[in-house]
Amino acid sequence: MSSRTVIRGGLVVTASDELHADVLIEDGRVAALAATGTPAAEAFTAERVIDASGKYVIPGGVDGHTHMEMPFGGTYAADTFETGTRAAAWGGTTTIVDFAIQSVGHSLRSGLDAWHAKAEGNCAIDYAFHMIVSDVNEKTLKEMDLLVEEGVTSFKQFMAYPGVFYSDDGQILRAMQRAAENGGLIMMHAENGIAIDVLVEQALARGETDPRFHGEVRKALLEAEATHRAIRLAQVAGAPLYVVHVSATEAVAELTRARDEGLPVFGETCPQYLFLSTDNLAEPGFEGAKYVCSTPLRPREHQASLWRGLRTNDLQVVSTDHCPFCFSGQKELGRGDFSKIPNGMPGVENRMDLLHQAVVDGHISRRRWIEIACATPARMFGLYPKKGTIAPGADADIVVYDPHAEQVISAETHHMNVDYSAYEGRRITGRVETVLSRGEPVVTEREYTGRTGHGVYTPRATCQYLN
C-alpha cells in the first residue's frame, strides 16, 4: 500500500532554489513539487497533509562529523547512537556520518564491525560511517579498497594525538596514495601533535593546568603548519583532501592558497569555532573544560575568517564534531591537568539553528545555509541526491522550519545526553517544527514521534564534490 504526504504552502529552500511550492511524498521519497496554488499542486492528494504556510521547507540536515559512544581519554562520549540520533532529529538533522575507529594492531574491518554493532537498530535517523585509520600497513591499505567498494568512502587520519590515533607523514602519504587509486577521500585532523605534546609538557611543568592552557599550547600556527603539510602531501599523492574542524585564520589561508592553485582541497568548520572563543575556555571555576576540544577554540578574531571562508567557498561544510562529555564525572577527569580533559563538545542538536541565526545575522544567505549544512556534505560524502536536497526521487528527509519562532538554547530543554550546553542562554530566531525521515514523522509540531531503529545504515558513493 502506498502512503502519501503533502507539505503545503511553505517556502522550499534548497542550495540552489527558493520556491513557494507544495511537496508530494510517496513511499518515503519526494514524488513531485508544484508551485503552490497551481492546478498541479491542487491535484496532489494524500492521507497526511502538513501545513507549512509561513514556514520554510528544507532538506534534513546532513551532519558529516559525529562521534557517538566514542572512547576517548579513558571514558566514552556520552551520547549513544540512540540518544544522539534522537537529539539530531530534534535539531533538524536527518543523516549523520559517524567515525568508526581502527585501533592500533587491529583491522579496519573489526573497527567497522564494532561500529555497525553499536548503531544497528538503535538510530532514529539514517546513518553512515567514515573510517578512522590509526595503523597504516599493507593489510590496512588493502582493506581501504574493500571499504570504498562497500560504501565507506572516506578515511580520517590524525597528525595529532601521538600514541593514540597519530600517523606520521609516511603513513599519511601511503594512505593518500591509496585513496588516489581507489577513490577514497582522506579527511585530516591537521595539528602538529608532536610539537603540541612538547608544549603541553612544558606548560604543565610551569604549573599551567587550567583549561585555558589547552587553547594556548594547541597553537594556530601548528594547525596551519599541519594543514600546509597535509595539502602538500595530498598534492604529491595526487589525492583530494578534506580538512576537518578548521578553526584558525592561518589554516583557512592555507586552504585558500591551495584552492587558488586549483587543488582539490576542502575544509570543514564547526559551530563552536563560529560562535565560541577562548573567552569560553577561560571561564573561571574549571567551567572552561566544557569548551575543550581539538582543534581548540580560538580568540574571537578568527571567527571573521571562518565566516569569510564559508562565503567564498574556501570552506565548504559546517559539521558539528559532536563528541559530548558530561561536565560532571567526565570533563572533571582533567581537574588539575588540562591534558586529561576528554576532548570534544556537544552540538548535533544545535547546528541547523545556529546556522539559521547566522542567516538572520547576515553572515550567510538562506541558500548557503542549506548548501553548507545539507547539500555539500551530502555531495562531499557520496549521499547526493538521496540526501541533502528536495527533488523528485530524493529521500523525503524534510524539515518544516519556523523562521520566526524564538527559542533559548539550554541544557534544561535539549535532548542530547549531556549535562551542559555549550550555547546555554543563547537566543535563536528560528526553530524546527516538524521533521520527516524517509517520509516518516520523527518530530511532529515539536512532539517526538520517531522510533528507535527507524534509521538505517546508508552506504555511500565516492566523493561527488569533485565532479
Which residues lie near ligand URP (CB under 6 A)?
Answer: 67, 189, 245, 293-294, 321, 323, 343-344
The least distance separating ligand URP from the CB of residue 194, rounded to whole angstroms, comes to 16
- Which one of 29-37, 88-96, 251-259, 267-275 is the stretch in contact with Zn ion (CB under 5 A)? 251-259
Q: How far apart are CA 223 and CA 248, in angstroms?
A: 7
What residue 343 binds from ligand URP, Zn ion, none (CB within 5 to 8 A, per partner kind)? ligand URP
Q: How far apart are CA 89 and CA 154, in angstroms?
A: 24
- Which one of 233-241, 257-265, 386-394, 397-405 is the stretch in contact with Zn ion (CB under 5 A)? 257-265
What residue 387 binds from Zn ion, ligand URP, none (CB within 5 to 8 A, per partner kind)? none
The least distance separating Zn ion from the CB of residue 414, rounded to whole angstroms, comes to 20
Is the CB of 56 or the CB of 338 nearer to ligand URP?
Answer: 338
Is the CB of 56 or the CB of 165 nearer to ligand URP?
Answer: 165
What residue 59 binds from Zn ion, ligand URP, none (CB within 5 to 8 A, per partner kind)? none
- Point out which residues pair with 241 in neighbouring strands: 186, 265
Note whether 321 binds Zn ion by CB under 5 A.
yes
Is the CB of 320 or the CB of 464 nearer to ligand URP?
Answer: 320
Closest-by-Cβ residue to ligand URP is 343
- Which one of 266-274, 317-325, 347-355, 412-420 is the stretch in contact with Zn ion (CB under 5 A)? 317-325
Note whether 98 binds Zn ion by CB under 5 A.
no
Q: How far apart are CA 126 and CA 142, in angstroms?
A: 28
Buried b / exposed e over 416-446, threshold 16 CB at 10 Å, is bbbbbbbbeebebbbbbbbbbbbbbbbbbee
> End-to-end CA distance of the chain, in Å?
38
Q: Which residue has the cell 603539510?
A: 229
- Which one of 320-328, 358-366, 375-383, 412-420 is the stretch in contact with Zn ion (CB under 5 A)? 320-328
What residue 439 binds from Zn ion, ligand URP, none (CB within 5 to 8 A, per partner kind)? none
Is the N-terminal amide bond of 385 cis, ω within 30° of 0?
yes
The least distance separating ligand URP from the CB of residue 172, rounded to whole angstroms, comes to 15
The least distance separating ligand URP from the CB of residue 321, rounded to whole angstroms, comes to 5
Contact 51, 445 (CB under 8 A): no
Task: Dump the DSSP string for 46-115.
Answer: -SEEEE-TTSEEEEPEEEEEE-TT-EETTEE-S--HHHHHHHHHHTTEEEEEEEEEPPTTS-HHHHHHHH
C-alpha grid cell for residue 57?
521547507
The least distance separating ligand URP from the CB of residue 132, rounded to whole angstroms, comes to 9
Q: Provide, for the chain, the percentages of residues in helix, strand and coil under a 3-state DSSP scheme, each rounded to the nearest 5.
A: 35, 25, 40
- Which one of 121-129, 177-185, 196-204, 318-326 is the stretch in contact with Zn ion (CB under 5 A)? 318-326
Note whether 210 binds Zn ion by CB under 5 A.
no
Give how many residues touch Zn ion by CB under 5 A. 5
Using the rule CB under 5 A, which residue among 55, 189, 322, 356 binds Zn ion?
Answer: 189
Q: How far apart are CA 167 and CA 160, in angstroms?
A: 8
Q: Exposure of 52 by Cβ count < 10 A (0-12 exposed, 13-18 middle, 19+ buried)? A: buried
List residues binding Zn ion (CB under 5 A). 189, 256, 259-260, 321
